[in-house]
Amino acid sequence: MSVRAKICGLNTPETVAAAVEGGASYIGFNFYPPSPRAVTPEAAARLGASIPTSVAKVALVVDADDRLIDAIAEALAPEIVQLHGAETPERVAAIKTRTGRKVMKVVAIATPADIEHTRAYESVADLLLFDAKPQPGGLPGGNGLSFDWRLLKDARWPLPWLLAGGLTPENVAEAIRSTGAAQVDVSSGVEDRPGVKSPEKIRRFLRAATS
């Protein structure tokens, strides 16, 4: 099985280059201001200028208003908008229509009930991303937390999906085997400290995920 990988929260030319050269299928830019990985639309545009068309640029937002959505679409022209907040199915559909881009909806997972919550987005999103539910007061993602991968074992979706949450170069291969994931996403698992990505960890993650 050929696994596709997304490296999220990049903010330097060196880490973008490591992701591209390592074979990432997606590169994510974080536009959530409280995150240590946050970038502006203008900074993301500069970083994204070197990304080849074979690699999809992903814009991560959290309950963003139309003004920010428009600024990102104009500056970065992402292929995918990743919605990591409490966006309703109606808001997902509205953003897809407004931008003309594919939309990836993130669903926070802790229990079987959270899996069923995903069904509401099947008709409006283009991709799904399953991440660990954050601790109260924590960031929506990038916390290094994982969830019980067994929750995904027998579930099926009509949309492509990605596995996230606590993945690292050391455990991503096992996560793929346990869930059957064809796509994976990492942020904090390839960092030296919050917001500071390691080019070497990015390369190791990509080798472990895609080999």
Q: Which sequence positions are flagged as catalytic?
A: 8, 131
| Backbone phi and psi for residue 187, each to the nearest 5 degrees, phi listed first | -135, -80
Q: Give the whole-angstrom CA distance, residue 120 versus residue 122.
A: 6
- Nearest partner of 89 among 102, 105, 69, judged by Cα: 105
Cα 142 to Cα 62: distance, rounded to the nearest angstrom: 13
Residue 23's nearest CA partner among 5, 46, 10 is 5
Q: Phi and psi of 170, rounded to 5°?
A: -80, -30
